[in-house]
Chain A
Amino acid sequence: GQQLNQSPQSMFIQEGEDVSMNCTSSSIFNTWLWYKQEPGEGPVLLIALYKAGELTSNGRLTAQFGITRKDSFLNISASIPSDVGIYFCSISNFGNEKLTFGTGTRLTIIP
């Protein structure tokens, strides 16, 4: 199957700091989706990317689709306590009904 590497595995930051995480794949894809999962809940879609080089924002979140189509990053600016959770990247191609998920980045905010 597709190799999808997500890093870092975990992050411990202080409130107000900026956060950056990324994913790299072994193959080219034309869809990158970023999800967030809070404790006890299912993942929720944050940002969808469909074009190489595309930069998309959702509030304090910004994600980019790498120009090689093999990577993507997610940035969170000025973190707040409700940003705590696990962030997943996922990949697919148009016409493929399935998503492949990364192993997640667990974000913890230190008081």
Chain B
Amino acid sequence: DAGITQSPRHKVTETGTPVTLRCHQTENHRYMYWYRQDPGHGLRLIHYSYGVKDTDKGEVSDGYSVSRSKTEDFLLTLESATSSQTSVYFCAVRGTVFPNEQFFGPGTRLTVL
């Protein structure tokens, strides 16, 4: 499982509140990713990181910010949650055996009421 944990695993929050999701990895992977998964859309990249304090946007980055102050932790923040951000969020790391391979965490189910 590439040593990836996500917290919390489930969260219910209200519109307008800030939310932070955490991804933690134990195997010193350089690249980390945040995706959201919605029915009919597959997995869509929100942001990714290529090192400590090095991040870049994905295809659906509006309304999200990220931070990576340590190699092992990648945080995803919804500054002011909206109902459209109700989704399942997955963290992933880039593997080192096969080119482009990624390993995924167990996911966080977020509901914004």
Contacts and interface: CB of A to CB of B under 8 A. Distances in A.
Contacts, number: 59
A4 B104 CA distance: 21
A97 B99 CA distance: 9
Contact of A88 (B43, B101, B107): B43
Interface of B: 4, 31, 33, 40-45, 48, 50, 58-59, 90, 92, 94-95, 98-107
Interface of A: 1, 6, 31, 33, 40-45, 48, 50, 88, 92, 94, 96-104
A90 to B, nearest CB: 8
A93 to B, nearest CB: 8
A44 B48 contact: no
Given A41-B106, A101-B42, A104-B42, 17 more contacts: A33-B102, A42-B90, A42-B104, A42-B106, A42-B107, A45-B101, A50-B99, A88-B42, A92-B100, A94-B100, A97-B31, A97-B48, A98-B58, A99-B45, A99-B100, A103-B40, A103-B41
